[in-house]
Amino acid sequence: MSPGAKKFLVPFIIVDTLFFAALGFWFFHRQVTTALVGKPDFSLDIRHPESKLTEIDLINRGNGAGEINGLSIEVSWPDAELVEAKGLSQFNVTETGRRSERFFLSPSPAVSVSPGQPIAVGWVKLTDDVAVRGEIVANSGAATEP
């Protein structure tokens, strides 16, 4: 290889090597930080322990603890009337429509949920045995009753 080509290629090789080393360090650091710190991943567990009764739990399926302040759970159902609904574990409930309810945290200190830990949100009892759908929604402001 000619000295002119070496003079031209060596700086590019050095810069590329430094770039890939920095990229590898960033990726490794991100993976280690995520594994050590962890992130919460909330999901709903909707169960039907008996006819016409539906229980709702919030579960942290992530690998780190997380606060549930600022989250509400909306449940809805087709073709049935509400008999009764009750919020549990610092959750209150309010009617948001003819066939829907919203569970929200009462104003209180921060509630943290560990990985794998469920927290009881509440239950709804309906006139008919129908499927209940649930959704986690973020509140835009404080978690108070509308």
Task: Write the pLDDT tens digit of every residue in 60-91.
Answer: 988 888 888 878 899 999 988 999 999 998 89
pLDDT reading at 59 higher than 60 = yes
* Of 49, 62, 44, 53, residue with least CA distance to 119: 44
Contact in structure between 52 and 129 (CB atoms under 8 Å): yes
pLDDT for the residue 28: 84
pLDDT (mean) for 119-144: 81
Domain ranges for the chain, please list them.
1-37, 42-138
Instruction: Please tell me the pTM assigned to this model.
Output: 0.67
Q: What is the CATH number of domain 42-138?
A: 2.60.40.2230
